[in-house]
């Protein structure tokens, strides 16, 4: 089982900049990225399609156990062989994923996959909510990204506009805050920085600046 000694753990709430920062850091370090949020989103699609009660952790876990989720190194997501890269980002999945990902039984299955991924890749950038605290407590570098709620909602608005969807800023902000609450207050692996994580506030900082900071932290420990 991988200890995660080569892992750059990138945690933080939605909209803090994890995905963009993860991709850039990985490029500079010659590593691949594992987007664990996409795994929880793929399970959520499978649960919705199967019609199970999303509040039923055992039922959601049975679905999680029975499906094949493949995350390609280029970021594409496959669920039982079907390309769901676009579907994982739809508002319906974004609105329901926190419910499914709060179940400990679902998390156990995903964490097992994430550790196998690290064992296979040896090193990599892993982004999520519990990577530094639970999945890879011995990660080489742990970063916890934050940004103001206003800034995070503004970034999400840009993403939605780019995806061709019309959304209301206040609704986005309210949804971010609702998800933060569910992710931070859940009993199983709540969203919180590891004791030894480096906290980086990305509000008003350029991506290049944040990426340079993280890349030097990782190189300093290589
Ligand atoms: O990063 P994201 O928005 O794609 O994550 C989707 C959801 O999955 C988010 O609401 C919290 C959950 N998640 C989690 O609980 N643990 C992770 N390691 C990654 C994501």
* Ligand 1 centre distance from Cα of residue 97 (Å): 7
Q: In this structure, what CATH number is given to the domain that contains residue 83?
A: 3.40.50.300
* Ligand 1 centre distance from Cα of residue 186 (Å): 12
Q: Which residues contact 124 (CB under 8 A, 6 or more apart)?
A: 6, 7, 8, 26, 31, 32, 33, 34, 117, 118
Cβ burial of 33 (10 Å; 0-12, 13-18, 19+) is buried
* Model confidence band, residue 183 (pLDDT cutoffs 50, 70, 90): confident
Cα dihedral 114, 21, 158, 184, rounded to 10, equals: 50
Residue 1 lies in a domain: no
The reported pTM is 0.94
Residue 17 lies in a domain: yes
Q: Stretch 88-94: mean pLDDT, rounded?
A: 93
Residues 102 and 60: their CA atoms lie apart, in Å, by 11
Cβ burial of 125 (10 Å; 0-12, 13-18, 19+) is buried
The boundaries of the domain holding residue 201 are 6-220
The total number of structural domains in the chain stands at 1
Residue 51 lies in a domain: yes
pLDDT at 1: 53
Residue 80 lies in a domain: yes
* pLDDT per residue as tens digits for the range 58-90: 999 999 999 999 999 889 999 999 999 999 999
Mean pLDDT across the chain: 95
pLDDT tops 70 at residue 149: yes
Where does ligand 1 bind, in terms of residues with CB under 6 Å? 14, 36-37, 40-41, 97-98, 101, 128-130, 179, 183
- Of ligand 1's listed atoms, the one at least distance from the Cα of 179 is 10
Residue 54 lies in a domain: yes
């Amino acid at each position: 089982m991988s200890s995660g000694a080569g892992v750059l753990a990138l945690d933080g709430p939605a909209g803090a900049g994890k995905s963009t920062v993860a991709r850039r850091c990985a490029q500079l370090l010659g590593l691949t990225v594992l987007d664990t949020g996409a795994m929880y989103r793929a399970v959520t699609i499978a649960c919705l399609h199967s019609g199970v009660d999303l509040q039923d952790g055992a039922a959601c876990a049975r679905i999680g156990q029975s499906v094949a989720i493949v995350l390609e190194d280029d970021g594409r997501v496959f669920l039982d062989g079907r390309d769901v890269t676009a579907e994982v980002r739809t508002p319906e999945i974004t609105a329901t994923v926190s419910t499914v990902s709060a179940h400990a039984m679902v998390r156990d299955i995903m964490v097992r996959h994430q550790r196998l991924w690290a064992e296979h890749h040896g090193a990599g950038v892993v982004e999520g909510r519990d990577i530094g605290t639970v999945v890879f407590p011995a990660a080489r570098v742990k970063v916890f990204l934050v940004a103001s709620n206003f800034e995070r909602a503004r970034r999400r608005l840009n993403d939605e506009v780019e995806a061709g969807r019309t959304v209301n800023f206040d609704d986005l902000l309210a949804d971010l805050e609702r998800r933060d609450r569910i992710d931070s207050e859940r009993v199983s692996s709540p969203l919180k920085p590891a004791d030894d994580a480096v906290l980086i506030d990305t509000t008003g900082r350029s991506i290049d600046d944040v990426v340079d900071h993280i890349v030097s932290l990782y190189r300093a420990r290589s």
